[in-house]
Amino acid sequence: MAAEKRGEGGPCAPGGTVQGAAFEGAKMQNSEIRPFLTNVEIKESFIDFFEMREKTSESVATEILSKLDAGGLRVEDCRGQTYENAAVSLMAGCRTGVQTRIREKNPRASYVPCDCHSLNLVGVHAAHVDLVMATFFGTTERIFTFFVSSTHRWEVIKQHVELAIKRDCDTRWSSKCDAVEAVCMQIDSVVDALEHL
């Protein structure tokens, strides 16, 4: 028998579960508690792209804080910050990085490395370690480069395939999937286009 107990809010994030079992005579009862927050709505939304004039942690932090202020968002209300892992020392540096400078304004704005970018970097580096994988992804990239570098060749490939061939991009692991799918799902058509040329 499952029961749900609702609390009056608290520091727990929505969706967390705690499970337990209690024995009552010969019967075992399970309970599930789902912590949740009341009167709080957590939102994440895109604000804007903005041009960086300098690439120092001080100037980047100043730009971010200025953008938040201009949008009517108070840095004091921020409870977290995360950045892609490409420019680790600039953004995540614990002494002078952007996250440190923002935490000077609000110590509750905890820094958490972006798991998605970390996982992406694992995949990107793994694809370059193994010779078979490096050759495979290199070949799909060279196929794309061959056709896209000439308007005539691009027109030929467009006439032979239904799904456009795509570029492999190291900053998005999913782009490798898109590039491979476009070639592998229609390899005969790609070969026909190459033979046509």
Domain limit, last residue, from 96, 113, 130: 113
User: What DSSP letter does each residue of 117-161 carry, written as one string?
Assistant: HHHHHHHHHHHHHSHHHHHHHHHHHHHHHHHHT-HHHHHHHHHH-
Mean per-residue pLDDT over the chain, rounded: 74
Question: 105-147, pLDDT tens digit by residue?
Answer: 888 888 877 777 777 778 777 777 888 888 888 888 899 999 9
Are 102 and 131 part of one and the same domain?
A: no
The answer to the question of residue 15 being in a domain is yes
Q: How many whole angstroms separate alpha carbon 38 and alpha carbon 47? A: 26
Q: How many whole angstroms separate alpha carbon 60 and alpha carbon 96? A: 11
Beta-strand runs (E) in the chain? 4-5, 18-24, 27-33, 80-81, 110-111
Q: How far is CA 154 from CA 16, 61, 160, in A?
A: 50, 43, 10
CA 1 to chain centre: 39
Domain span including residue 10: 4-33
The answer to the question of residue 47 being in a domain is no
Residue 151 predicted with pLDDT over 70: yes
Question: 73-96, pLDDT tens digit by residue?
Answer: 888 887 878 776 656 667 777 777
pTM: 0.46
What is the number of structural domains in the chain? 3
The answer to the question of residue 185 being in a domain is yes
Looking at residue 110, its pLDDT comes to: 82
Q: How many whole angstroms separate alpha carbon 2 and alpha carbon 29? A: 7
> By three-state DSSP, how is residue 195 classified?
helix
